[in-house]
Amino acid sequence: MRTFLFVGNLKMNLLSQDEAEQYLSVLKREMQGKTFENTLGILCPPAVYLHLFESLPSGIVSGAQNASFEKNGPYTGEISPVMLKSDGIEYVILGHSERRVHFGETDEMVKRKVDAALKYLLQPIVCIGESETERKRQETVSVLEKQVRSVFAGLSKLQAEKIILAYEPRWAIGTDLLPTTTEIFEVRVLLRKILTELFDGATAERIRILYGGSVKSAFLHAVSFDAEMDGVLVGRESLFPYEVVKMMSLFEENAKQEV
């Protein structure tokens, strides 16, 4: 039975330690009596609160929102993957569209970050996706292929299987617009095809693919179950602990129905 992933990207929110502690208090209350055997929650808070997220309810672990491509050195404001690993972090989001758009991260920069994360034994959650302009120009396939081939270039099968891909069309993030279930499924098929060409069919099946972009619990069937994705990357709705637990519960129910 496969394990579904719920990744919550809290972004630059929770503006004080009190807010962060209140969030965690509500989350723990909502999780009471819940057990998750086939669903893993990964919550990625701002880096300054990672220490507060060390003690999470069973079924949820913490992750980072970003990491540097360097181990150490004169990189003011950056966070080394070694720092994250030594702090007990296992997962890190890389290449999010907001970092690509606002901070100029290129495919080449994201690739360097992926390689560094793997080198220091972190699991990268790598975001890929087309812009609205690229979608209108019908360039989705070529954009995704370029991004994926860049991410996996030079990796062994074992390294490749550590990567989690998150398909986040840029035009859908924060807009309440969604691709159709068919479009998401077609992206899944495309990514599996590319990964099979790079490695083999078995390896491609072991690389998990998530959907992200305006995800809500009401849309979960359309963007994940029906599209045969392995989970979701959630931004705005992950700020509400009730929604986190609700979506994880829906994943758990669906997993049990697949038996």
> Token pair for residue 90?
């296992």
> Token pair for residue 13?
């929110």
Q: Which amino acid is at 101?
A: V
Give the burial string for 106-126 (b: 16+ CB within 10 Å, else e): ebebbbbbbbbbbebebbbbb
Q: Could you tell me which of 121, 143, 124 has the C-alpha nearest to residue 132?
A: 143
Question: For residues 247 and 203, what is the distance between their CA atoms, to the nearest angstrom?
Answer: 28
Question: What is the set of active-site residues?
Answer: 96, 168
- Of all residues in the chain, what percent are helix, strand and coil, respectively (each to 5)? 50, 15, 35
> Token pair for residue 41?
């929650």
